[in-house]
Amino acid sequence: MTKFKALTILGVFTLFCGNLFAQTVQNEPSQDPVVPYRLFRTTNIWTFIQLDTITGRMWQIQFDIDGDARGAVILNSQNLASGKETIIGRFTLFPTSNMWTFILLDQFDGSTWQVQWSHQSANRLVLPIN
């Protein structure tokens, strides 16, 4: 086999593998950051976090195909913006490398909270990061 043929075969193989990988990447739908509510994907395919971007209130949203585990549970019912200016888009969530944990950020004063979602209520928490 000539060097040219070997390089051609290697190039075609590389393009084929790259195309397969690109097709498995899941695109995140774009969301307007200045809206009252946003959904954030977790690494669990059945679970999202819904965020009230004005107050920092959050709900763990669960869906399924059978309907047995469909619903929402409160992650945080406290208004974290109490006494502060009411601003749409004030709060946002950032995922961490821990699938259960997000960082909640007040984008206007820099306050942060550790947000942990879980299927067990005892393991759900929102704690300030000082």
103: nearest Cα among 90, 111, 113: 113
- Looking at residue 3, its pLDDT comes to 64
Task: List, in order, residues 6 or more apart from 23 with CB less than 8 Å away.
Answer: none
Q: When comparing pLDDT for 73 and 10, which is higher?
A: 73
Q: For the chain, give percent helix, strand, coil, nearest 5.
A: 20, 35, 50
- Looking at residue 24, its pLDDT comes to 47
Q: Collapsing DSSP states into helix, strand and coil, what is residue 108?
A: coil
pTM above 0.95, yes or no: no
- Looking at residue 5, its pLDDT comes to 64
102: nearest Cα among 112, 115, 117, 89: 115
- Looking at residue 56, its pLDDT comes to 98
Q: Specify the DSSP class assigned to residue 95.
A: E
- Looking at residue 1, its pLDDT comes to 61
Average pLDDT score over the chain = 85
* pLDDT band of 62, cuts 50, 70, 90: very high
Mind listing the pLDDT tens digit for each residue in 33-51? Answer: 789 999 999 999 999 999 9
* pLDDT band of 20, cuts 50, 70, 90: very low
Cα dihedral sign for 20, 25, 26, 28? negative
